[in-house]
Amino acid sequence: MFVALAGGIGAARYLRGLVRVVAPSDITVIANVGDDIELHGLHVSPDIDTVVYTLAGVVHPEQGWGRRDETFHIAEELARVGEPTWFRLGDRDLATHIVRTARLRAGATLSEVTAELVTAFGLELRILPATDDPVATRIATADGRELHFQEYWVREHGAPPVVGVRLDGADAARPAPGLIDAILGAEAVLICPSNPVVSIGTILAVPGIVDALTETGAPVVGVSPIVGGAVVRGMADRLLPAVGAAVSAAGVAAMYRTWLDGWVIDRRDLDAAGEIEAMGIAVAVTDTVMDTIETSEAVARTALALAGRIRGPGWVADPLDPSGGTGPTPGEAKRRARAVA
Amino acid sequence: MFVALAGGIGAARYLRGLVRVVAPSDITVIANVGDDIELHGLHVSPDIDTVVYTLAGVVHPEQGWGRRDETFHIAEELARVGEPTWFRLGDRDLATHIVRTARLRAGATLSEVTAELVTAFGLELRILPATDDPVATRIATADGRELHFQEYWVREHGAPPVVGVRLDGADAARPAPGLIDAILGAEAVLICPSNPVVSIGTILAVPGIVDALTETGAPVVGVSPIVGGAVVRGMADRLLPAVGAAVSAAGVAAMYRTWLDGWVIDRRDLDAAGEIEAMGIAVAVTDTVMDTIETSEAVARTALALAGRIRGPGWVADPLDPSGGTGPTPGEAKRRARAVA
């Protein structure tokens, strides 16, 4: 099994390549739900939907989220009756939120609803929300406000200077059922090229997930969301400084260093390789801008190859116990391997 | 103030005429909510919406319900994810249900939500649900099932033979706030040409409403939903026999006879006039098929003229007490006037 920690667009483009390399039924996606928001009484899970729509081939091809062939008649009507419409939901997209909300109101968990939607869209992979418990990414702005992530990003166009980010509800949140076991039992854990603060960071904020990434015997290999020292898309350039991280391939790797084993970086960031390797993290270099499905597949192949390389000699076996059988757990072996690297 | 008891299409076509004759702000509509149903987790109020859409000029002109310029993208998507779609909701229409449901979940009453929607659609009349409490019209079929009205009418196309109709929840239902006072204080109470069983009948099933119609000092004047001994539209021909009533202008008048003062019938039912008058109900005759706004207005004028005629000599004044001032209440006077008629 392969496990992938995923945000929205960047993750979806990576995963559309991954499903061409490994069997979709062997993939578990752990999805960010910090962006989730209730709008017009409906539960919207933007990152899950972006992954589902992309893999189902129904995503809006240019914008990378929402539905292709979309209409906005409901948004027009909501405006007519005075509803706030800064988060302009498309008609087809709304069907997903209507069904999700109906299921949640009827007592289903977000995991269960997500599994139903994945099946309904004809997909064979598994998508687990980072948590079934209510969480929300909150953005502290320089002018003293705290906004929901979507208020900051969509309503205010990411304009307010950011001084902090937190996942509200994280303290009481439990990883979705099966999530920790998926990480611990994975063949490889992949970190999608998603925002390290508000996509991957909010997954990591759910208690137990960082521990599992640290403990797992699987190599943990990420794809850098930074290209040429800048973000491919999104708001990482505004959010990384707010959490004290550098906007660079090495800066993001440093955020993950306690559990990251391999890092796929773009050719334009080649000069960061030495700094990353000095953290004990293996590096692979490729073109990481996934503007075609072929490049998506190539990036996935590179990440899996790096995982295989890490998993190779000196990895699973305990260097202190060549017999293997009675040695440390894979996680312990991994940490020792890191320590001796 | 004018009060109108209303179902869906027939009522809406009558009301579009009424608002041309009296100020909309002087009209209170009492709307049937027995047809209300939760679909996909959303609260749908078909009769209220038909009235609102019609008066706002956004109703589908041919079918008389739903929105003009409608699309069905959400219905397509709901089918994709396996939702039952026999009640095919349009996209623009769904916006209303989304907002209504969000408000109800947030704690608003159906009356409050309805008032918001009425205002949002630019209307000046008042629409009160018959009750804010949960009720549902249930249809007992000859094959021993009990269906929600919409299951019977929309899903099963009104095909199953009907043996009974009841308003589930009626025992515990209270009239919407202000409803009883509106009837008691009205200048005239109008009964729209709606189905006597599943539109008007389900309003009358809410405890207190029949008493108010009986007590009010206002003339109560209806428009017959029967034309030429048959129903104009809908399922009255199947439902009237199920409740023991004749499918005729006189048959429906007989259902209302304990509180009905005047009955507007179609020219084609002129031969029923004597039978209706023999019940102590005044009759006016006109063309009642409201296929244009002008005919809608003419029917409304006829009903109001009949109310005025009833209200005239011998009506409000107590025939046993010509001085008036210390006589019976208007309701008592009305019943005595009926008794001496």
Q: Does B91 touch chain A (CB under 8 A)?
A: yes
DSSP state of A144: S
Domain's final residue, options A100, A116, A132: A132
Q: Does A289 touch chain B (CB under 8 A)?
A: no
**CATH code at position A263:** 3.40.50.10680
Specify whether B126 is located in the same domain as B239: no
**pLDDT less than 50: residues of chain B:** 316-330, 333, 336, 340-341
Note the pLDDT of residue B337: 55
Burial level of A62, CB count in 10 A (0-12/13-18/19+)?
Answer: exposed
Cβ proximity of A128 and A28 under 8 Å? yes
Interface of A with B in 18-47 (CB under 8 A): 40-42
**Strand-pair category, A136-141 with A162-168:** antiparallel
Place of tokens 């769904």: B94
Q: Which residues of B touch A71 (CB under 8 A)?
A: 71, 73, 91
Q: Does A95 touch chain B (CB under 8 A)?
A: yes
DSSP state of A176: P
- Tell me if B227 is assigned to some domain: yes
Q: Does B305 touch chain A (CB under 8 A)?
A: no
Q: Does A108 touch chain B (CB under 8 A)?
A: no
- Tell me if A35 is assigned to some domain: yes
Domain's final residue, options A98, A132, A166: A132
Distance from the A122 Cα atom to the nearest Cα atom in chain B, whole angstroms:
9
Q: Do B116 and A81 touch (CB under 8 A)?
A: yes
Q: Do B41 and A101 touch (CB under 8 A)?
A: yes
- Tell me if B40 is assigned to some domain: yes
Q: Do B41 and A94 touch (CB under 8 A)?
A: no
Distance CA A241, CA A256 (A): 15
Query: Rg of the Cα trace of chain A?
Result: 20
Cβ proximity of A91 and B91 under 8 Å? yes
Specify whether A189 is located in the same domain as A331: yes
Q: Which residues of A touch B83 (CB under 8 A)?
A: 99
Q: What is the SS3 assignment for A173?
A: coil
Specify whether B128 is located in the same domain as B196: no
Q: Does B279 touch chain A (CB under 8 A)?
A: no
Cβ proximity of A213 and A259 under 8 Å? yes
Q: Which of A37, A73, A113, A121 to mutate to test the interface with B (most CBs of B within 10 A)?
A: A73
**CATH code at position B32:** 1.10.8.240
Nearest to A81 among B42, B83, B117 (CB): B117
Nearest to B102 among A41, A96, A120 (CB): A41
- Residue B20 has a CB neighbour count (10 Å cut-off) of 15
Nearest to B152 by CA among B160, B143, B163, B144: B160
Note the pLDDT of residue B323: 41
- Tell me if A137 is assigned to some domain: no
Q: Which residues of A touch B113 (CB under 8 A)?
A: none
- What string of DSSP letters covers B46-81? HHHHHHHHHHTT-B-TTTSSSBTT---HHHHHHHHT
Note the pLDDT of residue A335: 56
Q: Does A57 touch chain B (CB under 8 A)?
A: no
Burial level of B86, CB count in 10 A (0-12/13-18/19+)?
Answer: exposed
Q: CA of A58: which chain B residue's CA is closest?
A: B77
Specify whether A80 is located in the same domain as A219: no
Nearest to A81 among B83, B99, B106 (CB): B99
Q: Which residues of B touch A103 (CB under 8 A)?
A: 41
For B340, the token pair is 């001496």
Note the pLDDT of residue B229: 80
The number of angstroms, rounded, from the C-alpha of B50 to the middle of its chain's C-alpha atoms is: 11
Note the pLDDT of residue A334: 58
HSE (CB half, 13 Å, CA atoms) of B146?
8
pLDDT per residue, tens digit, chain A (341 aa), is 999 999 999 999 999 999 999 999 999 999 999 999 999 999 999 999 999 999 999 999 989 999 999 999 999 999 999 999 899 999 999 999 999 999 999 999 999 999 999 999 999 999 999 999 999 999 999 999 999 999 999 999 999 999 999 999 999 999 999 999 999 999 999 999 999 999 999 999 999 999 999 999 999 999 999 998 877 767 778 888 888 888 999 999 999 999 999 999 999 999 999 999 999 999 999 999 999 999 999 999 999 999 999 987 655 433 343 443 333 444 554 554 555 44
Q: What is the SS3 assignment for A321?
A: strand
Nearest to A5 by CA among A196, A207, A134, A181: A196
Q: Which residues of B touch A44 (CB under 8 A)?
A: none
Cβ proximity of A125 and A117 under 8 Å? no
Q: Domain total for chain A? A: 2
- What string of DSSP letters covers B156-216? STT-S-EEEEEEETGGG--BPTTHHHHHHT-SEEEE-S--TTTTHHHHHTSTTHHHHHHH-
What sign does the dihedral B296-B297-B300-B305 (CA atoms) show? negative
Q: CA of B119: which chain A residue's CA is closest?
A: A81
Q: Does B102 touch chain A (CB under 8 A)?
A: yes
Specify whether B208 is located in the same domain as B300: yes
Specify whether B314 is located in the same domain as B246: yes
- Tell me if A308 is assigned to some domain: yes
Note the pLDDT of residue A329: 44
Specify whether A188 is located in the same domain as A64: no
Distance CA B23, CA A212 (A): 69
Specify whether A193 is located in the same domain as A288: yes
Q: Which residues of B touch A70 (CB under 8 A)?
A: 73
Give the ipTM of the model, two decimals please: 0.84
Q: Which of A67, A71, A77 to mutate to test the interface with B (most CBs of B within 10 A)?
A: A77
* Cα distances (angstroms) measured from residue A40 to each of A138, B70, B95: 20, 20, 9
Domain's final residue, options A132, A167, A194: A132
- Tell me if A139 is assigned to some domain: no
Q: Which of A39, A58, A76, A81 to mutate to test the interface with B (most CBs of B within 10 A)?
A: A81
Specify whether B187 is located in the same domain as B330: yes
- Tell me if A66 is assigned to some domain: yes
Specify whether B196 is located in the same domain as B116: no
Distance CA B192, CA B10 (A): 7
Beta-bridge partners for B136: B168
What sign does the dihedral A49-A53-A58-A62 (CA atoms) show? positive
Interface of A with B in 117-136 (CB under 8 A): 117, 120-121
Specify whether A234 is located in the same domain as A302: yes
Q: Which residues of B touch A91 (CB under 8 A)?
A: 71, 73-74, 91
Specify whether B206 is located in the same domain as B305: yes
CA angle at A108 for the pair A107 and A114, rounded to the nearest 5°: 155
Cβ proximity of B49 and B59 under 8 Å? no
For residue A18, what are the contacts with CB-CB under 8 A and spacing of at least 6? A2, A4, A27, A190, A296, A300
- Tell me if B175 is assigned to some domain: no
What per-residue string of b and e applies to A33-49 under the rule 16 or more CB within 10 Å gives b?
bbbbbebbbbbbbbbbb
Residue range of the domain that includes A329 = 179-340
